[in-house]
Amino acid sequence: MSLIQEPAIPLYDAVVKGYHTLSTAGADTEGVRRARQSAFDQWRLLGFPSIKNEDWKYTNITRYLKDEFALDGLVAGGGPVAAVAAPAGLVKKATIPGLDAFQVVLVNGVWDGKVHGASPKGELPKGIELLKVSQVLNDPAFAGYFGNGKWGNQHFAYLNTALFTDGLFIRVKDGAVIEKPLHVVHVFTADRNLLIQPRHVWVAGRNAEASVIESIVGGEGDVKLWVNSLMEIFAQTDSKLDHVVLQTAGTGVRLVQHTTVRQQKQSLYNNYTFTLPGAELVRNDLQARLEEDHTETHLYGLYLTAGGQLVDNHTLVDHQKPNCYSNELYKGVLLEKSTGVFNGKVYVHQDAQKTNAFQQNNNLVISKQATIDSKPELEIYADDVKCSHGSTVGQFSEEALFYLRARGIGEDTAKALLINAFAFDVTEKLRNEAVEHFVNELISQHIPSQTQA
Amino acid sequence: MLIIKNLHAEVEGKQILKGLNLTVNAGEVHAIMGPNGAGKSSLASVLAGRENYEVTEGEVWFEGKNLLEMAPEDRAREGVFLAFQYPVEIPGVSNINFLKTAIGEIRAYRNLPPLDAKAFLQLSKEKQKLVEFDAKLVNRSLNEGFSGGEKKRNEIFQLAMLEPLLSILDETDSGLDIDALRIVSKGVNKLRSPKNAFLIITHYQRLLEYIVPDFVHVLYDGRIVKSGTKELALELEEKGYDWLKEKEEVGTN
């Protein structure tokens, strides 16, 4: 028995206290209500993770939990905080120059129903459907998308399931090929510390093709926003989905983002996750569940961390069936006093023969005060597979730096060039030129003044 | 242009240059020859500003300025160019972007207006032609996957683009076949002018058949022990370096 009393977490108490009022406030159907209750019960047992949990061993969130957070929907007046307008500056920050896309803006997880950059009437092309999660949650026709209650050891997924209110539901209809990307801008803003829990569901129908770019902005001020976002993606048979995530929130944001992708036969899912300096805590749980055979999955990630940031990428590629291909490349550049964590798990079930699974994590540690914990994790139970993994941690090549300087390039510019070059392996994978250019610009912006060790 | 006086330098506590004197004027081509380990490449590194070399004594003046006080990038901006013996591969940095950045920073240092995209492209095309550098290589990542010869040719292409006053060629001939050697030499010869100077560091006389030097110096044990005209190179080729070593030993004893 432990003799050390765990310090009380104000948010834990707030959730326990507020759950009843919140969960009965809406007009949830019996099914939804039961799912919430079950998730809540589970979360009450689990609480918030500590470094004693294997999945959180290198990511200590205790200090981020010391603040008090109000629960969205339970603030003064009872109305959801989410009903505020998006500050124009934040939307502008997320705007990608030269990107030809449909744009929707969600404030604290709530979509205002508007589509920018669509036809003059504001309509989307025929094959794609956008709805608010709050609209479809209690609709029996959508029950299949919200019924998942098995979140394993995912503390935050239970918390989200217990109390989420809204988010974006996207459905690309069977056979629809959406040429123009959809740009989803997530703005987080409030006048007091707040727990915000968006819940998104995306469905790519059979033979459907789409490309979605997400931008996360907000948290520029002193207010602390704890964003606990949960997304489920259903990639149906023969679908192709390109998914870019640009995490550019400010220091006031603590972001925990869980994404589960469920892939059916011959589906292709590409994820590109970029985390830039700002948000003091980012924890990404990206899980690709290869539930049927002949799927293809590419996970690319780049984290450029600065200040006192803690950025943790946990990925899981769950090979359940034979003949699936997965490839993962995550790269990290660590500046100042920041900390990075990479944990890449590849699980190959006994059934999943002829699996091809590759994983690589490379890190460039720029500052002497920066830290990286890199942990590849392979569990293989099938005997006819090709799997590989690799992890490196390094510093600037002195020789490369000298070569550039010997050509008249100043030290800061030379370092910026080398960082961009290091990141290039990931940024070049982006299929949209405007997005690639934007990401490279974001990287460059954060380098010159921050290269001093 | 370049005055080196009594230069002493060490690397990792080991004395490499032991009192080297050399003067190079505009319009001249100097060859530095010598056996392995004499300090030839160290001289190139010290002049370019490689950080692990420590100058313990002596002076280096370039166009009236104290070269040793400058950071490597400032030396380049003042007009010193080192063609590397082993050019570095940098995946992800395109050759052309690298040169654009270098020219931009050099021009800014000299208070010149930036080159616009068109002028830069024009310059690049002109120099590619001059030194017979493959246009395909220009757009590739810097030296990535280049053959030994392509890397050396890229050094000469960069030299042509940056138009330095003093070019130091550090064993540019090593690892080159005869055709590549001819192309590289042709490039250098085209770039020679009364305004610039070359310091050619080589182990073999072969390169000097193509790039004819005004002066040949023999570097041995950290010092220049003999200087002469191009005939000295032929003499070295014939006799090797051993006779110098013997002479040196007799001299020091």
pLDDT at B247: 64
Closest C-alpha to A48, from A34, A33, A65: A65
Q: What residue has token string 């166009």?
A: B63
Is the CB of A179 inside 8 Å of chain B's CB atoms? no
Per DSSP, A177 falls in state B
Sign of the C-alpha dihedral, residues A224, A83, A99, B118?
Answer: negative
pLDDT at B3: 97
Query: Across the interface, which of A398, A417, A425 has its CB nearest the CB of B93?
Result: A417
Interchain pair A420, B93: CB under 8 A: yes
Which 3 state secondary structure label does DSSP give A204?
strand
Backbone conformation region of residue A154, classed left if phi is above 0, alpha if psi is from -120 to 50, else beta: beta
pLDDT beyond 90 at A444: no
pLDDT averaged over every residue in chain A: 91
What are residue A349's phi and psi, to 5 degrees? -70, 165
pLDDT beyond 50 at B252: no
pLDDT tens column, A326-350 = 999 999 999 999 999 999 999 999 9
pLDDT at A452: 43
For residue A260 the two structure tokens come to 């589960």
- In chain B, residues with a C-beta closer than 8 Å to the C-beta of A409 are 73, 98, 101-102, 105
What is the separation, in whole angstroms, between the first and last Cα of chain A? 44
Q: Give the residue numbers spanning the domain of B239.
A: 2-252
pLDDT at B244: 72
Distances (CA, A) of B17 to A187, B40, B44, B61: 62, 9, 11, 17
pLDDT average, residue stretch A363-373: 95
Please, which pLDDT band fits residue A83 given cuts at 50, 70 and 90?
low
Task: Tell me the residues of chain B between 143 and 162 that have a Cβ less than 8 Å away from chain A.
Answer: 158, 162
Please state, in angstroms and rounded to a whole number, the distance separating the CA atoms of residues B37 and B17. Answer: 10
CATH number at residue B43: 3.40.50.300
pLDDT average, residue stretch B173-182: 86
Please, which pLDDT band fits residue A30 given cuts at 50, 70 and 90?
confident
Task: Tell me the residues of chain B between 180 and 209 that have a Cβ less than 8 Å away from chain A.
Answer: none
pLDDT tens column, A409-436 = 999 899 988 998 999 999 999 999 999 9
pLDDT at B242: 80
Please state, in angstroms and rounded to a whole number, the distance separating the CA atoms of residues A150 and B157. Answer: 62
pLDDT tens column, A48-79 = 999 999 999 999 999 999 999 998 765 544 44
**Over pLDDT 90: what percentage of chain B?**
74
pLDDT beyond 70 at A276: yes
pLDDT tens column, B6-30 = 999 999 999 999 999 999 999 999 9
Q: Domain total for chain A? A: 1
Is the CB of B166 inside 8 Å of chain A's CB atoms? no
pLDDT tens column, B178-231 = 888 898 899 899 999 999 999 999 988 888 989 999 999 999 999 999 999 988
Interchain pair A406, B82: CB under 8 A: yes
Interchain pair A411, B71: CB under 8 A: yes
pLDDT at A79: 46
> Is residue A102 one of the residues assigned to a domain?
yes
Best of A402, A415, A428 to disrupt the B interface (most B CBs within 10 Å) is: A402
Q: Give the residue numbers spanning the domain of A218.
A: 10-292
Got the DSSP string for B28-60? -EEEEE--TTSSHHHHHHHHHT-TTEEEEEEEE
User: In Å, how far is A437's CA from the nearest CA of chain B?
Assistant: 14
Interchain pair B50, A422: CB under 8 A: no
Best of B41, B80, B90 to disrupt the A interface (most A CBs within 10 Å) is: B90
Which 3 state secondary structure label does DSSP give B102?
helix
What are residue A447's phi and psi, to 5 degrees? -90, -60
Please answer whether residues B247 and B239 qualify as being in contact, where contact means their C-beta atoms are separated by less than 8 angstroms.
Answer: no
> Is residue A198 one of the residues assigned to a domain?
yes
pLDDT average, residue stretch A27-39: 89
pLDDT at A228: 97
For residue B116 the two structure tokens come to 């616009």
Judge residue A104's burial from the number of C-beta atoms within 10 Å of its C-beta, 0-12 exposed, 13-18 middle, 19 or more buried.
buried
> Is residue A332 one of the residues assigned to a domain?
no
pLDDT at A184: 98
pLDDT at A5: 53
pLDDT beyond 50 at B124: yes
pLDDT tens column, A86-114 = 788 999 999 999 999 999 999 999 999 99
Interchain pair A405, B73: CB under 8 A: yes
Interchain pair A406, B76: CB under 8 A: yes
Distances (CA, A) of A417 to A411, A421, A440, B136: 10, 6, 11, 21
User: In Å, how far is A402's CA from the nearest CA of chain B?
Assistant: 7
Please state, in angstroms and rounded to a whole number, the distance separating the CA atoms of residues A256 and A312. Answer: 9
Is the CB of A241 inside 8 Å of chain B's CB atoms? no
User: In Å, how far is A359's CA from the nearest CA of chain B?
Assistant: 20
What are residue B223's phi and psi, to 5 degrees? -140, 155
Q: How many CB atoms lie within 10 A of CB A330?
A: 24
Residues whose CB is less than 8 angstroms from the CB of residue A72 and which lie 6 or more positions away in sequence, other chains included? A80, A81, A82, A108, A109, A165, A194, A195, A196, A197
Ranges of beta strands (E only) in A35-126 are 70-71, 102-107, 110-111
pLDDT at A76: 43
pLDDT tens column, A185-231 = 999 999 899 999 999 999 999 999 999 999 999 998 899 999 999 99
Closest C-alpha to A408, from B74, B83, B113: B74
Report, in this order, helix, strand and coil percent for chain A, each rounded to 5: 25, 35, 40
Is the CB of B15 inside 8 Å of chain A's CB atoms? no
Angle at which helices B117-130 and B148-162 cross, to 10°: 130
Please, which pLDDT band fits residue A119 given cuts at 50, 70 and 90?
low
Q: Domain total for chain B? A: 1
Please answer whether residues A69 and A11 qualify as being in contact, where contact means their C-beta atoms are separated by less than 8 angstroms.
Answer: yes
pLDDT beyond 80 at B59: yes
Which 3 state secondary structure label does DSSP give B62?
strand
pLDDT average, residue stretch B106-127: 95
pLDDT average, residue stretch A262-288: 98
